[in-house]
Structure 1
Amino acid sequence: MYPSFKKFSGILIILIGLTLYALLVSRLIEAFFADHIVLQLICYLVAGIVWIFPAYWVLKKTST
């Protein structure tokens, strides 16, 4: 009934990776586009979609 180590490591990778990704993206967007609200919004929207692809790959690899 316990989850396998593979699933646990996948969850851990996603949690740590997504946290680091969010911190890095927010710092970069703020550094480059501090005065442009519209450009920040566009970058955050793109960054919010981009993280889905690596997370999907990790989930796909750990689900089997």
Structure 2
Amino acid sequence: MFMYPSFKKFAGIMAILIGLAIYALVVTRLIEAFFAEHIVLQLICYLIAGIVWIFPAYWVLKKTST
């Protein structure tokens, strides 16, 4: 039987999508503002930022799965 996802899961998915979009825009602007001329520092910052977003997303997924 097909069941519709609960509102809690829907809200969690929307929070992740909207939060990740805002996070990506802010991080991109900050990295470009501070390290516009340093490609290696940009790469390092993007790698760190790419890992950091996992922790809040995991927390949201954990809260919405129960």
What range describes the TM-score normalised by the shorter chain of this pair? over 0.9
Ranges in structure 1 where 5+ consecutive residues have no aligned partner:
none
SS at match of 1:18: helix
> Does residue 58 of structure 1 match 2:55?
no
Q: TM-score, normalised by structure 2?
A: 0.97
Over aligned residue pairs, what C-alpha RMSD do you find? 0.2
* Paired residues, number: 64
Q: Percent identity?
A: 86
Deviation at 1:40, TM superposition (A): 0.1
What code does the residue aligned with 1:54 have? P
Q: TM-score, normalised by structure 1?
A: 1.00
Ranges in structure 2 where 5+ consecutive residues have no aligned partner:
none
The structure whose Rg is larger is: 2
